[in-house]
């Protein structure tokens, strides 16, 4: 490889440029690290206990939804927050599902499975939760013993998840 000699002024400029580039890289790295705060998984204690749950593997295939879920072909479109709330990874199927809770509906939580790269943390009404091909929605109501029972999701609530307010 040939050796290239640069005039002294060019070397100072190159050193400054390299220092600026390294500084920007550090700022970008630190900024990206701050945004990727780990959201702890939420363990949902189900009132009903079925053998097959989302995330389970059957043969070489992953279960995408379970009894009580409503699967919707959203065709890669966005899924929105119907109200202000918290989006957490599901403790049982961390990679596949998220759990949504809100002070606006404290007796209910919602499990969504099949989202691609869901946005976790505190979200506002209308924020994008994620996108997906087929997304399974489950509505769970809190029982007096602290467990959660699957209930039929209301059609108007599903519409709110699927349309931007």
Rounded average pLDDT over 44-70: 78
- The reply to whether 72 and 142 lie within a common domain is yes
- The reply to whether 137 and 75 lie within a common domain is yes
- The reply to whether 134 and 78 lie within a common domain is yes
- The reply to whether 73 and 15 lie within a common domain is no
- The reply to whether 72 and 115 lie within a common domain is yes
How many C-beta neighbours within 10 Å does residue 31 have?
Answer: 9
Of 22-31, 37-46, 96-105, 149-158, give the lowest mean pLDDT range: 22-31
Domain for residue 51, yes or no? no
Reported confidence tier of residue 83, pLDDT bands at 50, 70, 90: very high
Q: In the prediction, which pLDDT does 155 show?
A: 93
What CATH number is attached to the domain comprising 116? Answer: 2.70.70.10
- pTM (whole model) above 0.85: no
Give the pLDDT confidence of 103-147 residue by residue, as tens digits. 999 999 999 999 999 999 999 999 999 999 999 999 999 999 999
- The reply to whether 30 and 79 lie within a common domain is no
Q: In the prediction, which pLDDT does 34 show?
A: 44
Sign (positive/negative) of CA torsion 74, 75, 81, 86?
Answer: positive
Domain for residue 84, yes or no? yes
Nearest partner of 114 among 91, 97, 126, 101, judged by Cα: 97
Q: Could you write out the DSSP letters of every residue in the chain?
A: -------HHHHHHHHHHHHHHHHHHHHHHHHHHHH-PPPPPB---BSS--S--TT-EETTEE----TT-EEEE-TT-EEE-SSSEEEEEBSSSTTTEEEEE-TTSTTEEEEEEEEES---EEE-TT-EEEEEEEEEEEEEEE-TTS-EEEEPPPHHHHHHHHS--
- The reply to whether 25 and 61 lie within a common domain is no
Give the pLDDT confidence of 6-33 residue by residue, as tens digits. 455 544 544 554 555 555 444 444 444 4
Domain for residue 28, yes or no? yes
- The reply to whether 65 and 145 lie within a common domain is yes
- Radius of gyration (Cα) for the chain, nearest Å? 23
Instruction: Give CA–CA dist 160/158, Å, rounded.
Output: 5
- The reply to whether 25 and 82 lie within a common domain is no
Domain for residue 95, yes or no? yes
Domain containing residue 147: 57-162
Domain for residue 127, yes or no? yes
Domain for residue 43, yes or no? no
What contacts 41, CB < 8 A, 6 or more positions away?
Answer: 88, 89, 90, 91, 94
Is residue 154 over pLDDT 70? Answer: yes
As for how many domains the chain has, the answer is: 2
- The reply to whether 86 and 13 lie within a common domain is no
How many C-beta neighbours within 10 Å does residue 83 have?
Answer: 16
What contacts 103, CB < 8 A, 6 or more positions away?
Answer: 84, 85
Domain for residue 42, yes or no? no
- The reply to whether 147 and 118 lie within a common domain is yes
């Amino acid at each position: 490889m040939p050796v290239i000699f640069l005039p002294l002024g060019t070397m100072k400029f190159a050193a400054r440029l390299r220092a600026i580039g390294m500084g920007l890289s550090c700022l970008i790295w630190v900024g990206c690290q701050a945004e990727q705060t780990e959201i702890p998984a939420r363990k949902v204690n189900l009132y009903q206990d079925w053998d097959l749950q989302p995330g389970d593997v059957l043969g070489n295939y992953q279960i995408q939804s379970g009894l009580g879920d409503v699967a919707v072909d959203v065709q890669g479109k966005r899924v929105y927050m119907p109200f202000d709330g918290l989006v957490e990874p599901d403790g049982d199927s961390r990679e596949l599902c998220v759990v949504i809770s809100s002070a606006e509906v404290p007796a209910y939580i919602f499990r969504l499975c099949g989202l691609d790269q869901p946005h976790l943390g505190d979200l506002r009404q209308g924020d994008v939760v994620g996108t997906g091909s087929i997304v399974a929605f489950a509505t769970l109501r809190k029982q007096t013993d602290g467990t959660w029972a699957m209930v039929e999701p209301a059609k108007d609530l599903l519409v709110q998840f699927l349309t931007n307010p």
